[in-house]
Amino acid sequence: MRVKQIISIALAASLAAGLTACKSSQQADGTATQNHFSVFLLGSGSEPTEDNKILKKIEDELGYTYDFEYAMSGHEDERIGVMMSSGDYPDIVQLGDDKLIQAGAVVPLDEYISKEETPNLYEFLEPIDKKARYTDGHIYALPGYGRPVYGEDETGDYWGPAFWIQKRVLEEAGYPEVKTLDQYFDLIEKYREAHPDTNGISTIGYEILAAPGYEWVLTTAPNYLDGNPNDGDVVVDKETYKAKIYANSDFAKRYFKKLNEEYANGIIDPECFTQSKDQYTSKIASGRVLGMFDQHWVFQPGETSLSAQKMYEYQYVPLPITFEENIDPWYRVEEQLNINQGLAVSVNCEHPEEVVKMLETFMSEDWQKIFQWGIEGEDYMVNDEGRFYRTPEQRVEQDDQMWAPANKITLFYDAMPKRTGLYTDGNSTSPGMQPEEFEATLNDYDKAFLAAYGKNNWADFLNEPPTNPKYFPAWNIDLIDTSEADYANQKLTDLSVKHLPEIIMSGDGFEKTWKSYCDEIDTINIAAYEERMNEQIQWRLENW
């Protein structure tokens, strides 16, 4: 078993032509089967150690071994470009979009999947079959997320978008209900005035992540304040299903005007537009940031650090705030499929059927429990009623950031198709979703905090998910690389990155800088972008 991490793009390029050759073995009938795979995964962090027990169990019981390559954050497209130029692909690749599908670099997987031969994968795909297929009718990627849950969703956590605020701010204010943007900033302003320093460092009222690859954190916030679900850069009319950009809308202007005022008041971090993602996370982990708009999974490493430091009051609560109290929030949504994303098999893999066979095995409940709960008796226990639980010692151990690399295969498992919801024995598919475990992991501070609000968990702070529109979500519509629609969308992002920081920092010059931004948007072929979006929305309405 070998595990490697590619630590630079230059090194990745040098290795592109020399990925580990496939190892094969012979079945009883003499047929060659592949049991060693090179695997390319998006993202980094929590890479498995050489002695990772899950990888060892897979090798001992199933015979599979791997060479892992991890894309450096922000350099994924560059690494994929190297692959496409050389034509040398790892056996298994995680797709973040359809570039490799368009390039003919991955093979259709639907021909290897059937109710008879691969019942676990068949069951997994059945409710999403139409959405999982590419425009040519084939399934190239097995998605890691977005399938409707098995059974019921009992999760108490929330990983999506919200305006987040530190618990200590709400506690000091007497646990108020916060519904509007003005109420939100009013709380932050008052708390920062009373507490200008946090543990000897200046308190940051509102933080913004605008690092490369995360521009959407800055640009999409006004969409939610206006009561819209996450359709990316467009708002889709709920009756006509027509999409229109909102970058230059009145409600976007209203949000950035508010940020302009808060920046002038010293509430917004003056370093926010020049900092990296790591610097942003570090500030979250310091406990000095009172609030921000973001998706939970993005800043979660910072919260994990706060938990390890037992700084529970410095952690965050998600608020589904809107411009006005009469606007219904739409932050929390039903499961949504990340189309053209997930694990795919490259054309260089000698035995794609073996990858499918492996994933079919991994989708069994026995292996899913290993991936999500760990080893029975070691990582979790089972009581007389058959309910899974962890001992206090196991919880403490697993809360340590140093535990996962030797005991989980987080990045690989995140990319795989998986069971979410309930197992057939009634247990939740992961500790975080098991109601008893959620309650058991709450510290005394959080128990008192939830009790003060009359909530059972953090998801209760959000809206109940409305029914997803049939086309939803529009953000994952394929714009087709190098098309006019793709160019217009990229140009819109570039203009936002250029102008929005200027607008927020412009002080009394807000109207002038906002007009300049809107004038430049008018020079883009927005019509091509909106036409592509509307064409695909209509296609989904007809075919999904």
Report the pLDDT value the prediction gives residue 26, as an integer from 0 to 100. 53
Q: Are residues 220 and 106 in the same domain?
A: no
Q: How confident is the model at residue 338 (pLDDT cuts 50, 70, 90)?
A: confident
The answer to whether the beta carbons of residues 194 and 188 sit under 8 Å apart is no
Is residue 383 assigned to a domain?
Answer: no
**pLDDT tens per residue, range 234-270:** 999 999 999 999 999 999 999 999 999 999 999 999 9
Domain range holding 79?
9-151+337-365
Is residue 392 assigned to a domain?
Answer: no
Of 365, 381, 414, at which residue does a domain stop?
365
Q: Is the pLDDT of residue 74 over 80?
A: no
Is residue 435 assigned to a domain?
Answer: no
Q: Is the pLDDT of residue 76 over 90?
A: no
Q: Is the pLDDT of residue 11 over 80?
A: no
Phi/psi zone of residue 296: left (φ > 0), alpha (ψ -120 to 50 degrees), beta? alpha
Q: How confident is the model at residue 34 (pLDDT cuts 50, 70, 90)?
A: confident
Report the pLDDT value the prediction gives residue 9, as an integer from 0 to 100. 33
Report the pLDDT value the prediction gives residue 5, as an integer from 0 to 100. 35
**pLDDT tens per residue, range 272-317:** 999 999 999 999 999 999 999 999 999 999 998 999 899 999 999 9
Is residue 444 assigned to a domain?
Answer: no
Is residue 445 assigned to a domain?
Answer: no
Report the pLDDT value the prediction gives residue 540, as an integer from 0 to 100. 93
Q: Are residues 317 and 197 in the same domain?
A: yes
Q: Comparing 320 with 146, which gets the higher pLDDT? A: 320
**pLDDT tens per residue, range 413-470:** 999 999 999 999 999 999 989 999 999 989 999 999 999 999 999 999 999 999 999 9
| Mean pLDDT value of segment 95-122 | 96
Q: Are residues 93 and 199 in the same domain?
A: no
| Mean pLDDT value of segment 85-92 | 96
d(CA 313, CA 166): 7
Q: What is the pTM of this model?
A: 0.80
Q: Are residues 74 and 117 in the same domain?
A: yes
Report the pLDDT value the prediction gives residue 16, as an integer from 0 to 100. 37
How many other C-beta atoms lie within 10 A of the C-beta of residue 282?
14
Q: Are residues 13 and 82 in the same domain?
A: yes
Q: Is the pLDDT of residue 24 over 70?
A: no
| Mean pLDDT value of segment 107-132 | 96
Is residue 56 assigned to a domain?
Answer: yes
Q: Is the pLDDT of residue 10 over 50?
A: no
Q: Is the pLDDT of residue 75 over 80?
A: no
Please state the domain count of the chain.
2
Q: How confident is the model at residue 153 (pLDDT cuts 50, 70, 90)?
A: confident
Q: Comparing 358 with 154, which gets the higher pLDDT? A: 358
Helix, strand or coil, per DSSP, at residue 418: coil
d(CA 119, CA 375): 24
Q: How confident is the model at residue 72 (pLDDT cuts 50, 70, 90)?
A: confident
Is residue 166 assigned to a domain?
Answer: yes
Query: What secondary structure does DSSP assign to 30-59, as a single string?
Result: S-EEEEEEEEEESS-SSPPPTT-HHHHHHH
Q: Is the pLDDT of residue 28 over 70?
A: no
**Burial tier of 115 (Cβ tally within 10 Å: 0-12, 13-18, 19+):** exposed
CATH of the domain at 247: 3.40.190.10
Q: Phi and psi (nearest 5°) for 445?
A: -65, -45
d(CA 243, CA 240): 9
Q: Are residues 360 and 304 in the same domain?
A: no
Helix, strand or coil, per DSSP, at residue 279: helix
Report the pLDDT value the prediction gives residue 3, as an integer from 0 to 100. 37
Q: Where are the beta strands (DSSP E) in 30-184?
A: 32-41, 65-70, 92-95, 161-166
| Mean pLDDT value of segment 138-158 | 90
Q: Are residues 16 and 113 in the same domain?
A: yes
Report the pLDDT value the prediction gives residue 476, as an integer from 0 to 100. 87
Q: Are residues 303 and 184 in the same domain?
A: yes
Q: Are residues 116 and 228 in the same domain?
A: no
Q: Are residues 316 and 171 in the same domain?
A: yes
Sequence-distant (6+) residues with CB within 8 A of 93 are: 39, 40, 83, 100, 105, 106, 343, 344, 345, 346
**pLDDT tens per residue, range 158-186:** 999 999 999 999 999 999 999 999 999 99
Residue percentage of the chain with pLDDT more than 90: 84
Q: How confident is the model at residue 336 (pLDDT cuts 50, 70, 90)?
A: confident
Q: Are residues 134 and 95 in the same domain?
A: yes
Q: Is the pLDDT of residue 1 over 90?
A: no
Is residue 474 assigned to a domain?
Answer: yes
| Mean pLDDT value of segment 316-321 | 98
Mean per-residue pLDDT over the chain, rounded? 92
**pLDDT tens per residue, range 182-214:** 999 999 999 999 999 999 999 999 999 999 989
Q: Are residues 194 and 326 in the same domain?
A: yes
What interhelical angle do 181-194 and 250-264 show, nearest 10? 10
